Chain A
């Protein structure tokens, strides 16, 4: 089946640090990748949608200068949390989808980000 690898799985760092999270589709070409954020006991909230070679589309309320998304190839997207602060601590999940239209997304294992 379709496999999405997310790295790292856990990050602990000091306030003010920038953190990069990678999302790779291992056995398919991901035309579209999605980045979600999940707070404890809450649902996944879509942060942004990125299409290979294009600028990401951010959801309302998500700061694009804070959460930099790059989707430079059909198998890799990165999310960089710039100058992270404790309120950015959360569980970040990526997903990837082949093709366009309505297709199931395949999810990574998530990254637990803790900012001290």
Chain B
């Protein structure tokens, strides 16, 4: 079965600092990759996704992620964080089984990002 690992449980940054959150998955086949964000008191929201094509994907609010197949990684980046980016971030994968998969998400443990003004 596939698994997802996020390296950092809690990251603390000051505003304007650059962000990179690590995500690695274990599965040898084709995967679809997601980053979700959960702001305090809110539901999970999709930040960005990778299905195929350009391995560098851009999402909402200035976030981007790069899929490196050889490293089984899908790290999330933002060049300059804001206080409003304080949230919990989840990496997730689904296995692409030729369209027959119902797209069950396997989540990482989550990374809490705290941005100080």
Contacts and interface: CB of A to CB of B under 8 A. Distances in A.
B43 A108 contact: yes
A93 B104 contact: no
Interface residues of A, number: 24
A44 B103 contact: no
B101 A102 contact: yes
A67 interface: no
B99 A109 contact: no
Contacts of B44: 93, 95, 107
Nearest to A110: B43
A82 to B, nearest CB: 24
Interface of A: 4, 32, 34, 41-46, 49, 51, 93, 95, 97, 100-105, 107-110
Given A51-B102, A101-B103, A102-B101, 10 more contacts: A4-B43, A43-B108, A43-B109, A44-B105, A46-B105, A93-B43, A93-B44, A102-B51, A108-B43, A109-B42
